[in-house]
Structure 1
């Protein structure tokens, strides 16, 4: 999703360390999600019984993803991120096209 695009964009901006790129991506994603949550709380009807579960599992996923990404070599992490990006782009290209 947007995380892969953010990593690609930040990498093209000249940040060489993939762990710094990933950390900055997480901070930016947090800010984006906070703004979206505020807008939804104010302007859109929400089914609050699902919101708590989504928040809980998002936090767990972020923690596990960050922990896992630090245990693998930088080069392999970059290959995984690029591969996922290509797979998602191909999937959506052929799904729509």
Structure 2
């Protein structure tokens, strides 16, 4: 994909929007960045890969620090989740790159529907 000024501005907006929502309500990667990258014309695999690459560095460190300062983060819980997130992410990515893009997109959409339903209709 060619890196035009329009593309750069769109990517900048994706980063700001995903970062803002990440700090505000704890979402950003798959739920925000992947669909917006799809709108930019990227494949499902490219969108997921870029989303993961963005999160590979501590991009949310400052936001998490704000929550930590207010006493909202239990570091032991976060550490256990982080270790197994790394393992799960590795295994999931190995599986995802073997799946046909059309099927992967359907799985992704289905997961988004489940999350949306839980958020809207859950307690």
**TM-score of the pair, normalised by structure 1:** 0.74
Deviation of 1:40 after TM superposition, in Å, equals 5.3
Q: Which residue of 2 aligns with 1:62?
A: 89
Which moves more between the two structures, 57-66 or 3-12? Answer: 3-12
Moved over 4 A (4+): 37-41
C-alpha contact (below 8 Å) 1:10/1:21 kept by paired residues: yes
Q: Which residue of 1 aligns with 2:16?
A: none
Q: Distance in 1 between matches of 2:115 and 2:76?
A: 30
Higher relative contact order structure (alpha carbons within 8 Å, sequence separation ≥ 6): 1
Q: Which residue of 2 aligns with 1:18?
A: 44
Q: Distance in 1 between matches of 2:112 and 2:78?
A: 28
Unaligned runs of 5+ in 1: none
Unaligned runs of 5+ in 2: 1-26
Deviation of 1:83 after TM superposition, in Å, equals 1.1
**TM-score of the pair, normalised by structure 2:** 0.61
Number of equivalences: 94
RMSD value, Cα: 2.4
